[in-house]
Amino acid sequence: MSKTKYVLYYCVSCNKETKMGVVGTMEGSENKVWYRCTRCHHSTMIDISKRPSDSVIKFIKEDCTSYSPERSYTVGELIYHNTWDDMGKVTAKEKTSSGGRAILVSFEKLGSRRLIENLAAE
């Protein structure tokens, strides 16, 4: 699970949107994440709690797991929904009223959606 996550973010040094890898989070404040530009290696801190709703950080499709109801996901995992052609981040996990399991996903275009996970494959 230590796979490096990448985001597209505006690099002040390159003066353009570049691919950035996560360096680490700030001690005691997990909303502040250090990213390093893969082009110029300039590090920048992004406060993900202040992320505007029109999404400065864009997910990169290759870093997303394709969504499938049979799979189970972890909070923070990036997923790609084939039918909706949208990428999102798992923000929470919960139980459904029928005793199943669901994930809450914050999608780039669609916003927050609840999806079934860990569906028993019959």
Spatial contact of 37 and 13, defined as CB atoms under 8 Å apart: yes
Listed ranges 4-12, 51-59, 87-95, 111-119: which one lies at the site for Zn ion (CB under 5 A):
4-12
- The contacts found for 29-37 with CB under 8 angstroms, 24 or more apart, are 35/7, 35/9, 37/11, 37/13
Is 46 a binding residue for Zn ion by CB under 5 A? The answer is no
Listed ranges 8-16, 46-54, 80-88, 110-118: which one lies at the site for Zn ion (CB under 5 A):
8-16
Distance in angstroms (rounded) separating the CA atoms of residues 23 and 101: 32
> Would you say 13 or 96 has its CB closer to Zn ion?
13
Q: How far is CA 91 from the centre of its chain?
A: 9
Those residues whose C-beta lies under 8 Å from the C-beta of residue 3, and which sit 6 or more positions away, are 63
Collapse the DSSP code of 66 into the 3-class scheme (helix H, G, I; strand E, B; otherwise coil) and give the result.
Answer: strand
Q: Tell me, residue by residue from 66 to 105, as one string, x for binding to Zn ion by CB under 5 A and - for no binding.
A: ----------------------------------------
> Would you say 20 or 103 has its CB closer to Zn ion?
20
Among 14, 45, 75, 92, binds Zn ion (CB under 5 A): 14
Q: What is the dihedral of CA 23, 81, 86, 41, to 10 degrees?
A: 20
Is 20 a binding residue for Zn ion by CB under 5 A? The answer is no
Is 58 a binding residue for Zn ion by CB under 5 A? The answer is no
Is 37 a binding residue for Zn ion by CB under 5 A? The answer is yes
The residue type found at 119 is: L
Q: Which residues of the shown chain bind Zn ion in the complex (CB under 5 A)? A: 11, 13-14, 18, 37, 39-40, 42
